Structure 1
Amino acid sequence: MKISVRNLEPTKVKLTVTADAEDFEPYLDQARKEIAKQINIPGFRKGHVPGPIVDQRVGFGAVAGEAANNGVPELYSKALEEKKIRPMAQPQLDVKQLPTSAKDDTKLQFTATVERRPEIELPSLEGMTLDVAKAEVTDEDVDKRLDNLRQRFGTLVGVDRPAKKGDYANIDLKATIDGEEVDSQEGVSYELGSGTLLDGIDEALDGLSAGEDTTFEGTLESGEHEGQKAQINVKVNSVKSEELPELDDDFAQEASEFDTLDDLKADIRKACENDNQGKQANEARDAFIDALEKDIEIPLPKGVLEQTVSERLQQVTADSDKATDEQKKEAQESAEKELRDQIVLDTLAEQLEIKVSQMDVTNFLASIAQQYGMDPGAFINAIVNNGQLGSAVQEVGRSKGLLAGMRAVKFTCDGEELDLSPFLGEDEGEENESVEAASAAAEVANELSSHDEPAQE
């Protein structure tokens, strides 16, 4: 098999693959066998028609076309492996020539245009030391959690006065554009100052009492007229104020397992300390990735970037064409950061020769299913059937590479070494049962697909 590579962009290549007869022949034989199962030839059992008879009956061109459909993707994968090209998107495949008869010396030739992972050189991990800010728990942190707990035990009481920040108002909304009503809602409960509804509604409601209404101009944030300016009438049906319990020992006994408020505060402080250790580990992770990316230029594949930006916009607005400049900017920056991190972590995992086992992938997918309250088996099967298993394997490789990389460097806090082992785990070393990512994907797929086979009666 002959492979030539032409660089179109720093992150885009065009491969021209020419398969020798011995490379293509197995796919021709397989195509003939598959076609033989579908045709009836007098004198031959179905599925046992000789290859030359199949060629004669359906035409060699049909056989070659079927063989190319199966062979080109596999030959493309072999070409990627041989040339050490790491694709970041699906390729554009184009068959340029096929043999027209069994005796034709014309070779299968196709091109593959694909966006690839750029080659970058990461800094050495040896001797790398990164300082992480100290995670301290303040009285304000404890008080904030205590206030949140109080709110869970708070009650709403109707008040006969104008609404103010922190009150809960039951309201009716009606939006009009050029005098025509375009949307309305009734009985909406809204906390003044929360900023969870339309811009300008907090100012409009402030000072209104039950039975009063006002009109203000606002931008609609959903529906057919999303992004358009409208006149919005808001009517207050009722105003309620939140009454919180007193902070004393009685509250501690009602809200927790502790008998005194001091004991409850001590437990909350301990929880804050545990959370801060997790935040410090996250900061260490971010510092490590930033250190890897520092002073190196990472070209991003344009097509993948555009697709990622589009996906980000779809998460914040139903119509990406109506996205604000700020939303577009945030989506662009988020997408660029995501792709840079992926490229760096993929490169790191490759340099550290990270292995991904079948159990790694299964546990990863099962944990995601658990987070969303889904049946792990059904979720994993859906991933396999949708062709997303490769992405899952890649994600596991990045995670393992990140942990291995962080274990290889030193983290400090205020001049003292920071122990992150509770978050990073122990160095796994070489595992005999580990396999390369591609093999892991195949094994998981085979294992799971076998579970889908119906039981024999």
Structure 2
Amino acid sequence: MKSSTESLSPTRIKLTIEVPFEEFEPSLDEAYKTIGSQVTVPGFRKGKVPAAVVDQRVGRTVVLDEAINSVLPQWYSQAVQEQDLQPLSQPEIDLTKFSDGEPIEITAELDIRPEIALPDVSGIEVEVPDAEVADSDVDEQIESLRERFATFTEVERPVQDGDSLTIDLAATDKDGKPIDGAEAQGMPYTVGQGEVLDGLDEAVIGLEAGGTATFASQLVGGELKGTDVDVTVTVTDVKERHLPELDDEFAQMASEFDTMDELRTDMVDRVTRGKRMEQANTARDLVLDEIIGQVDVPLPDALVAEELGSRREQVTQQLAFAGMSMEAYLEDEGQTADEFEADLERRVRESIVAQFVLDQVVASGEFGIDDTELSQHIMRRAQQSGQDPNSYVQHIMEHNHVPEMMSEVLRGKALASLVESATVKDASGNELELSRLRADGTIATDEELAAEKAAAEAAQGEAAAGAAAQVADDLADAGEAAADEEPKVD
């Protein structure tokens, strides 16, 4: 078999496969066996019907069709590998020459991944915000920790700012008619920490348990979002929140530290590491955007159309889940339908180009992946989706999404390598060495980097030694087998 390609466009080719009839004959023999096992001929056991009899019963044309249909996928896959193609679509296959006893010719038109001329990434420079930790950043984290240890006491007094309530809500239109679905019972609510409805805080302050008030507002979700309504709120209980004092006792209760100074020092370190990770994420986005802006990548129209359809469906499902119409969403975003479509297509095209760029970097580099990295990535995806990790893993295994997860890990490594090749500076002009940044936001020292390199080389050495030992064992087994054979005389 031999194959050749003809370029039809920057992203579409015609693949021609030529096969001598002699190479087709084994498949033809298998087809005779398959069909022979399916027909009943007096005097012959099933599967033992001679080819000539099969021809008489079903016709040789049927056998030829069975044989070519069974072997065609194999020839196509082999040709794709020989030509080092990366298909992006199902092929349109045409059996251009197929006569009994004559050479066979097949053509297939398909979209392929284009070759990308990547820019010199070392010439790219991006700027990220400083990883400065303000006192307010640390105070916010400590206050959040403090709120986790708050206690509540039910009180018999009017509602005040900061109280925790249980409330019932019911909305009616301006004619006093109840609005279906615009009600809630037993809803927890904290006064002053973000209103569910405009005017709710003002309505409940001053009420006691069992008190009711009605106020004018607008619905904030669903198909009737923005509709003017009258809302009746009933306070069923009032609880006063008590926050613990920020002292050493609190530090011991809320952490493994003995003093508030130690706890605050740890919080500064945590926030700093978080800021570094934010810098790294921003740098990745900026570097990738710079690369995308410098490359000209033709995209198959069919691929773009398919991805656009998928993205539209995702948006529709998300809006339906949120109880929002497309019209309301566009109004919130300040977009027309045409602007939304144009923005969606732009983001789809950029996403496809980014994937092509990273896949090409993966293909041209040496990026490995181990079970731990894959497992950690799958767990992160499960957390991001809000699903139970076990159910998420089961879904991935059942639908064979593991290769997709592996590709995501490899693309992440490829992007990290691009960022490390670029120049990344913070707003103060300091150059960042993101190759030293670890997943927890810490910075690796020279000694740690040297130790990691040595460990990687040792692991490679062990793998090579294991492979060599296996080869030696195979050779020894082969030698013993040869020694056991009886000598032959020519």
- Conserved in 2, the CA contact under 8 Å of 1:19 and 1:109? yes
Q: Could you say which residue in structure 1 is the equivalent of 2:365? A: 353
Q: Tell me, what secondary structure is at the counterpart of 1:188? A: strand
Q: Could you say which residue in structure 1 is the equivalent of 2:86? A: 86
* Paired letter, 1:286: D
- Conserved in 1, the CA contact under 8 Å of 2:170 and 2:178? no
* Paired letter, 2:320: A
* Paired letter, 2:218: E
**Partners of 2:48 and 2:174 in 1: how far apart?**
72
Q: Tell me, what secondary structure is at the counterpart of 1:212? A: strand
Q: Could you say which residue in structure 2 is the equivalent of 1:245? A: 244
Matched, 1:400 2:396: no
Matched, 1:172 2:190: no
Q: Could you say which residue in structure 1 is the equivalent of 2:213? A: 212
Instruction: List alignment gaps of at least 5 residues for structure 2.
Output: 383-387, 440-448, 465-490
1:162 is displaced (CA, Å) by 5.1
- 1:33-48 equivalences under 5 Å are 33-35=33-35, 42=42, 44=44, 46-47=46-47
Of 92, 97, 113, 1:117 maps to: 113
Q: Could you say which residue in structure 2 is the equivalent of 1:272? A: 271
Residue 322 to residue 60, structure 1, CA distance change in 2 (3 Å): farther
**What whole-Å deviation, never above 9, does each CA across 1:378-400 have from its counterpart, x for those lacking one?**
948x6465344543443343233
Which range moves more in the overlay, 304-313 or 76-85?
Answer: 76-85
- Conserved in 2, the CA contact under 8 Å of 1:168 and 1:190? yes
**Partners of 1:354 and 1:80 in 2: how far apart?**
22
**What whole-Å deviation, never above 9, does each CA across 1:323-381 have from its counterpart, x for those lacking one?**
3223957755654443232122112223x33355xxx26445433444445459x948x
Residue 147 to residue 412, structure 1, CA distance change in 2 (3 Å): same
1:19 is displaced (CA, Å) by 4.3
- Conserved in 2, the CA contact under 8 Å of 1:217 and 1:230? yes
Q: Tell me, what secondary structure is at the counterpart of 2:278? A: helix
Matched, 1:142 2:138: yes
**Partners of 1:228 and 1:46 in 2: how far apart?**
75
**Partners of 2:34 and 2:193 in 1: how far apart?**
64
Q: Could you say which residue in structure 2 is the equivalent of 1:310? A: 312
**Partners of 1:246 and 1:418 in 2: how far apart?**
40
Q: Give the helix-richer structure, 1 or 2.
A: 2
**Partners of 2:178 and 2:234 in 1: how far apart?**
22
* Paired letter, 1:212: A
Matched, 1:153 2:149: yes
- Conserved in 2, the CA contact under 8 Å of 1:122 and 1:293? no
- Conserved in 2, the CA contact under 8 Å of 1:218 and 1:232? no
* Paired letter, 2:435: L
Q: Tell me, what secondary structure is at the counterpart of 1:91? A: coil
Q: Could you say which residue in structure 2 is the equivalent of 1:236? A: 234
- Conserved in 2, the CA contact under 8 Å of 1:155 and 1:244? yes
Residue 405 to residue 228, structure 1, CA distance change in 2 (3 Å): same
Q: Could you say which residue in structure 2 is the equivalent of 1:292? A: 291
Residue 365 to residue 262, structure 1, CA distance change in 2 (3 Å): closer
- Conserved in 2, the CA contact under 8 Å of 1:354 and 1:400? no
Instruction: List alignment gaps of at least 5 residues for structure 1.
Output: 435-457
* Paired letter, 1:213: T
- Conserved in 2, the CA contact under 8 Å of 1:168 and 1:240? yes
1:150 is displaced (CA, Å) by 0.9
Provide the identity percentage: 26
Residue 314 to residue 253, structure 1, CA distance change in 2 (3 Å): same
1:87 is displaced (CA, Å) by 3.1
* Paired letter, 2:311: V
Residue 343 to residue 196, structure 1, CA distance change in 2 (3 Å): farther
* Paired letter, 2:180: V
Residue 347 to residue 195, structure 1, CA distance change in 2 (3 Å): farther
Of 371, 375, 385, 1:366 maps to: 375
**What whole-Å deviation, never above 9, does each CA across 1:233-259 have from its counterpart, x for those lacking one?**
453333545332222222222212222
* Paired letter, 1:211: T
**Partners of 1:65 and 1:227 in 2: how far apart?**
61
* Paired letter, 2:265: A
- Conserved in 2, the CA contact under 8 Å of 1:92 and 1:112? yes
- Conserved in 1, the CA contact under 8 Å of 2:195 and 2:201? no
Q: Tell me, what secondary structure is at the counterpart of 1:366? A: helix
Paired residues in the alignment total 416
Residue 45 to residue 139, structure 1, CA distance change in 2 (3 Å): farther
Q: Tell me, what secondary structure is at the counterpart of 2:92? A: strand
- Conserved in 2, the CA contact under 8 Å of 1:137 and 1:269? yes
TM-score normalised per structure 1? 0.71
TM-score normalised per structure 2? 0.67
1:5 is displaced (CA, Å) by 4.1
**Partners of 1:289 and 1:25 in 2: how far apart?**
51
Cα RMSD, aligned residues only: 4.4
1:142 is displaced (CA, Å) by 0.8
